[in-house]
Amino acid sequence: MILDGPKKPLRPADVPQPVPGPGEVLVRVRACGVCRTDLHVVDGDLAEPKLPLIPGHQVVGTVEAAGPARPGGGEGAPRRGGFAVGQRIGIPWLGGSCGGCDYCREGRENLCGHARYTGYQADGGFAEFCAADERFCFPLPEGYPDLQAAPLLCAGLIGYRALRMAGDAQRIGFYGFGASAHILAQAAKYQGRKIYAFTRPGDAAGQEFARRLGADWAGSSDEPPPEPLQAAIIFAPAGELVPAALRAVARGGTVVCAGIHMSDIPAFPYSILWGERVVRSVANLTRQDGQEFLALAPRAGVRSVVQPYPLEKANEALADLRAGRLTGAAVLVVDPRAAQ
Ligand SMILES: [Zn+2]
Ligand SMILES: [Zn+2]
């Protein structure tokens, strides 16, 4: 499925199979998760996609072939070891980084100014085949069927980075209970934390879903929590949630904005930030985040709740995500034999 330009529906097309370059693998895609970031790319909120573009950055598939060896073994980034043909792997949002800048050398490749993002600057997984730099792909834990594994790759692991940024807070609020929060709630419960889920006002079904996945309390985003929070993570792209979350966290608490795009944050009184409250964003992922989260998820018994769509219904999946009609995570089934 191809994006020709912002705000245009994706278009089905027959394109040549990608040829893996040096150090790349060619992956036969089984399933690809649909992320809010894909929606921001399609809607033009993220303004620098390559065009035309195949979106999708939560790619689950098997290695079909490997490209030639990377000359010189690449700079900086350690080689992850080649994947075997036929092995199931995941391709995440971070498709490559320069390996040489200060950020890359300090283990903060998520901030590299020359990074390449899957389904944004490189073709992604809304397709039968996808080529990717093998150093940035992950082996996937067994025990996760293909469809369930897909949302772990962004909703799960960028959410995990956001959870890390919440420090050791025991009482955490999640604003927006979609693909990311429903996975992270399970991981956070495993870590012994209390979860407070905030949904759109009046979304009783969403609140029920949150309780089912372990939330200790669920309510509307315009309600105060029953007790002050120690941290909050904002998954929804709505700037007005920042002052709402600041009002809900106690002194010293952190509000983490987990999305790549957010509407403008309205002005708010300094008093709700005062008391060493912190507002911060989380950007992208590092490979270490991926390794840690993909090890934690099976230990914590994380299960993802997915809503499958055939590949050619990608526009429908995006529309449902835009309208908030999803429960859990949307996943495109690319290979009908993909394990559900
Ligand atoms: Zn770099
Ligand atoms: Zn994503």
- Token pair, residue 79, equals 């080689």
- For range 103-113, the mean pLDDT: 96
In the reported structure, the alpha carbon of residue 116 is separated from the centroid of ligand 1 by a whole-number distance in angstroms of 10
Q: Which ligand is nearest to the CA of 109?
A: 1
In the reported structure, the alpha carbon of residue 211 is separated from the centroid of ligand 2 by a whole-number distance in angstroms of 24
C-alpha neighbours within 13 Å on the C-beta side of residue 288? 9
The pLDDT assigned to 77 comes to 46
Determine the Cα–Cα distance for residues 97 and 103; give it in Å rounded to an integer: 10
Contact yes or no for 1/126 (Cβ under 8 A): yes
In the reported structure, the alpha carbon of residue 35 is separated from the centroid of ligand 2 by a whole-number distance in angstroms of 5
Determine the Cα–Cα distance for residues 33 and 148; give it in Å rounded to an integer: 9
Q: Which ligand is nearest to the CA of 98?
A: 1
Place of tokens 């150090």: 23
Q: Which of 179, 175, 195 is nearest to 243 (CA)?
A: 175
Q: What is the pTM of this model?
A: 0.94
- What are the tens digits of pLDDT across the range 308-337? 999 999 999 999 999 989 999 999 999 999
Q: Which ligand is nearest to the CA of 159?
A: 2
Query: Which H or E run includes 97?
Result: none
Beta bridge partners of 116: 96
- For range 63-68, the mean pLDDT: 94
- What are the tens digits of pLDDT across the range 206-253? 999 999 999 999 999 999 999 999 999 999 999 999 999 999 999 999
What Rg do the C-alpha atoms of the chain give, in angstroms?
A: 19
Residue 75 predicted with pLDDT over 90: no
